[in-house]
Structures are given as structure tokens and as C-alpha cells.
Amino acid sequence: MTEIASTSDTFARLAAVIESRRPAEGGDPTRSYVARLLQKGPDGFLKKIGEEATEVVMACKDADHGGAREKIVNEVADLWFHCMVALAHYGLSPGDVAVELARREGMSGIEEKALRKAEARDAAGD
């Protein structure tokens, strides 16, 4: 349980740093990578998310052929970081993601996907 608690703490601290670097909060794009990404708007950080996701895939493929598994961790960290920038841009937090994952806990992926489809159909029918 300590790993989960410390993971939550890490995400909360990182989210606070990202939030503090938003240009609206005084983040300086000339001094902060986060401020620069957020200043560019969604096109900037969404491009990075795509790049990082591809790098995760490549690191996994490399590990399948003898590459360093640590590279997967490094690339996932980059991906998660850029996803956290996106969350901040849209006024969301890692806690929102944790709540959604907790909601899905114990539910099969097939069941969860079917539920989302049914909810989307119901919403479209309203």
C-alpha cells in the first residue's frame, strides 16, 4: 500500500508543479518547458503525447528483442508527464483519472466497454 500512496503523492506533487507553471499562473514560457507546452495550446502537447506513445511502443518492441526494459519505464514516464500536462490544460487532475480507474476496478474490460457503448447510445437518444 505504501507504493500506491507514494505514487499518489508523486502524481499530486507533479500536478501541483504543472499547475503552477501554467502561463495563467505566471509560468514563464522562456524558462519553463511546461509553460511553453501550454502556451502552444493543444497542438503542442498533443503532438508530444503522440510522440511519447510511439516511443513507448518502440521501447516495448525493443525489449522483446533484448533491449533494456528500463527504457520502457523512461518512455512511460515521459508519456504520463505529457498526459498530465493535457489534464492540467483541461482543468483535470491525476485524481480524476484515479477515480475513473477505481470505478472500473473489478469490472472486466469487455463489460466496461459494453457499458460505455450503452451509455453513449442512451446519451445520443436523449
Check residue 1 and give its pLDDT.
47
Q: Which residues contact 87 (CB under 8 A, 6 or more apart)?
A: 15, 93, 94, 96, 97
| Helix H or strand E segment including 47 | helix 42-64
pLDDT digits (tens, 9 = 90+) for 72-83: 999 999 999 999
Averaged pLDDT of the chain? 92
Classified as helix, coil or strand, 16 is: helix
Half-sphere exposure of 12 (CA within 13 A, CB side): 8
Check residue 3 and give its pLDDT.
61
Cα–Cα distance, 36 to 43 (Å, whole number): 12
Classified as helix, coil or strand, 92 is: coil
Question: What one-letter code names the amino acid at 21?
Answer: R
Report whether 45 contacts 86 (CB < 8 A): yes
pLDDT digits (tens, 9 = 90+) for 81-108: 999 999 999 999 999 999 999 988 887 8
Cα–Cα distance, 123 to 91 (Å, whole number): 23
